[in-house]
Amino acid sequence: MHSGRLFTVYDEIHCRPVRGSFPDEIMPLVKEALSKRVLASGIIRRNSAHQMVSIEVIELEVMPEDGDLPTVAEWHLWTQQRKRLPRNSSNDSSYHGWNSTSQGVGMLGS
Residue 61 lies in a domain: yes
Rounded Cα–Cα distance for residues 44 and 18 (Å):
10
Residue 81 lies in a domain: yes
Condensed to tens digits (0 to 9), the pLDDT of residues 35-66 reads 888 888 899 999 998 888 999 998 888 888 87
Residue 39 lies in a domain: yes
- Give the predicted TM-score (pTM) of the model: 0.57
Domain count, the chain: 1
The whole domain housing 10 covers 5-85+101-109
Mean of per-residue pLDDT scores for the chain: 75
Following DSSP, what letter does each residue of 64-97 receive, concatenated? Answer: PPGGGSPPHHHHHHHHHHHHTS-TT-TT-TT---
Rounded Cα–Cα distance for residues 104 and 10 (Å):
10
Q: Could you tell me which residue, 23 or 97, shows the higher pLDDT?
A: 23
Contact status, residue 54 vs residue 18, Cβ threshold 8 Å: yes
